[in-house]
């Protein structure tokens, strides 16, 4: 009986302490002018629920209770969530009025201080210009499209008569395809070492910024250090060889254009990580869900097959896809757009305030 009373007493004490901590955390953010909402636990906030449920946590649990404008605490950051179309339009169009791109601290730490999401003003303009130059119409036609065609032929060549884990394979495809664009000559030699580190890095960006052994944040940050070594060695090797490379890394390393900002090695590496990171989740998830939806809708699959076979009949078996072929894939484009609509990949757009402001 005495042991039972001790257990009950400890339970009641823990319950009271948890209630007091939650109450204290709510009081800290009960400032005049903030929208309604809950902040969860100190440090952790409501991150666990958000990562488990994704957009449904905000839409079904918080928006249904507090409306389209409420506060929360996600990924270590006090956050105001807006689901109001007109207010979102105002936020996106007023960067000059103190609303700049902002990201969770874990993402900024792991992607690097020079990545395009972490810089503003003239630095942001320089990084953006460097990245946009990599996907110009000329680059797409002459460099990106031929390399993607070559990669996909090789990647899919051994899929016949096999059971494929489409989730794992699309992740692998998205990463290796991007790596081929970045470092075409060395992609095969560094892929085995690079890929597991990159996957750890991705998990680390979507975690609480708690630097303790065993946490995803610590693993992600350590993976970044390993990636820095791999890319640093690759840059040094290219610089010593003095060979010209027609890929993204080769373009970022060029210093013969007086009209373009010359990037430092740190800036080059952070842009490479940004390219890999930004395309990885969107491409892999869209590809996986497209396979799922095509399986569920055989008539759509048949129409898609007709469009592609029509293009193939006009070409030799070994002839690659060209720009005009890509432009003619209207049905394929519609399938991609509909997949993106049904399987929303981007959960939201993040903005940070640089000054006090009032939003109605």
Q: Report the C-alpha gap between 193 and 198 in whole angstroms.
A: 9
- Structure token pair of residue 35: 């929208």
Q: Please state, in angstroms and rounded to a whole number, the distance separating the CA atoms of residues 305 and 122.
A: 47
Give Cα separations from 25 to 31, 104, 202 (angstroms).
12, 20, 29
Please, what's the b/e burial string for 56-69 (b: 16 or more CB within 10 A of its CB; e: otherwise)?
ebbeeebbeebeeb
Tell me if 152 sits within 8 A of 146, measured CB to CB.
no
Mean pLDDT computed over every residue of the chain: 83
Phi-psi region of 264 (alpha: psi -120 to 50; beta: other; left: phi over 0): beta
CB 169 within 8 A of CB 140: no
Averaged pLDDT for residues 294-310:
95
The mean per-residue pLDDT over the stretch 325-354 comes to: 86
Query: Which pLDDT belongs to residue 115?
Result: 82
Which residue is it, tokens 């495809």?
A: 173
Task: Please count the CA atoms within 13 angstroms of the CA of 358 that sit on its side-chain side.
Answer: 3
Using pLDDT thresholds of 50, 70 and 90, give the confidence band for residue 194: very high
CATH code at 123-157+166-342: 1.10.630.10
Residue 267 reports pLDDT greater than 70: yes
Q: Which residue has the higher pLDDT, 114 or 358?
A: 114
Residue extents of the structural domains in the chain = 48-99, 123-157+166-342
**CB neighbours of 216 closer than 8 A, spacing ≥ 6?**
200, 203, 204, 206, 207
DSSP helix/strand/coil, 69: strand
Orientation of helix 265-296 relative to helix 166-182, angle to 10° = 140
Q: What are the residue ranges of helices labelled H in 38-165? A: 47-53, 55-56, 64-66, 85-92, 105-111, 121-133, 137-139, 145-156
What percent helix, strand, coil does the chain show, rounded to 5? 65, 5, 30
State pLDDT tens for residues 196-246: 999 999 999 888 888 889 999 999 999 999 999 999 999 999 888 878 888
Judge contact between 39 and 11, C-beta under 8 A.
no
**C-alpha span between 253 and 84 (Å, rounded):** 43
24: which residues sit within 8 A by CB, 6+ positions away?
42
Q: What is the pLDDT of residues 55-69, one digit of tens each?
A: 777 777 777 788 888
Q: Measured between alpha carbons, how far is residue 210 from residues 22, 282, 293, 310 in Å? A: 20, 26, 38, 54
**pLDDT tens digits, residue range 131-173?**
888 888 888 888 889 999 999 999 988 888 888 899 999 999 9
Mind spelling out the 3-state secondary structure of 311-334? HHHCCCCCCCCCHHHHHCCHHHHH
* pLDDT tens-place string over residues 10-57: 555 655 554 554 454 455 556 666 787 777 766 677 777 777 777 777
- pTM exceeds 0.85: no
Residue 351: its H or E element = strand 351-353
């Amino acid at each position: 009986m005495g042991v039972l009373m001790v257990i009950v007493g400890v339970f009641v004490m823990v319950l009271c302490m948890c209630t007091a901590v939650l109450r204290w955390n709510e009081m800290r953010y009960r400032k005049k002018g903030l929208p309604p909402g809950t902040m969860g636990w100190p440090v952790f906030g409501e991150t666990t629920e958000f990562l488990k449920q994704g957009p449904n946590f905000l839409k079904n649990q918080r928006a249904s209770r507090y409306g389209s404008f409420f506060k929360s605490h996600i990924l270590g950051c006090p956050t105001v969530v807006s689901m109001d179309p007109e207010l979102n339009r105002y936020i996106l169009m007023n960067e000059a009025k103190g609303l700049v791109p902002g990201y969770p601290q874990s993402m900024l730490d792991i992607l690097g201080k020079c990545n395009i999401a972490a810089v503003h003003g003239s630095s942001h303009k320089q990084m953006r210009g460097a990245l946009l130059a990599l996907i110009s119409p000329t680059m797409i036609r002459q460099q990106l499209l031929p390399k993607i065609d070559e990669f996909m032929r090789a990647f899919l060549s051994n899929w016949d008569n096999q059971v494929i884990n489409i989730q794992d394979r699309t992740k692998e495809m998205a990463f290796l395809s991007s790596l081929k664009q970045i470092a075409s000559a060395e992609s095969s030699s560094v892929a085995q070492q690079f890929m597991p580190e990159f996957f750890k890095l991705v998990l680390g960006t979507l975690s609480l910024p708690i630097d303790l052994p065993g946490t995803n944040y610590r693993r992600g940050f350590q993976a970044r250090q390993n990636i820095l070594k791999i890319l640093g060695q690759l840059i040094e090797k290219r610089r010593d060889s003095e060979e010209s490379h027609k890929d993204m890394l080769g373009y970022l390393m060029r210093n013969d254009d007086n009209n373009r900002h010359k990037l430092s090695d740190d800036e080059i590496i952070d842009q490479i990580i940004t390219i890999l990171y930004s395309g990885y989740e969107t491409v892999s998830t869209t590809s996986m869900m497209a396979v799922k939806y095509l399986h569920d809708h055989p008539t759509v699959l048949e129409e898609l097959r007709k469009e592609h076979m029509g293009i193939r009949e006009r070409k030799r078996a070994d002839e690659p896809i060209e720009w005009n072929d890509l432009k003619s894939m209207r049905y394929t484009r519609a399938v991609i757009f509909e997949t993106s609509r049904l399987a929303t990949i981007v959960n939201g757009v993040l903005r940070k305030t640089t000054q006090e402001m009032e939003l109605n």
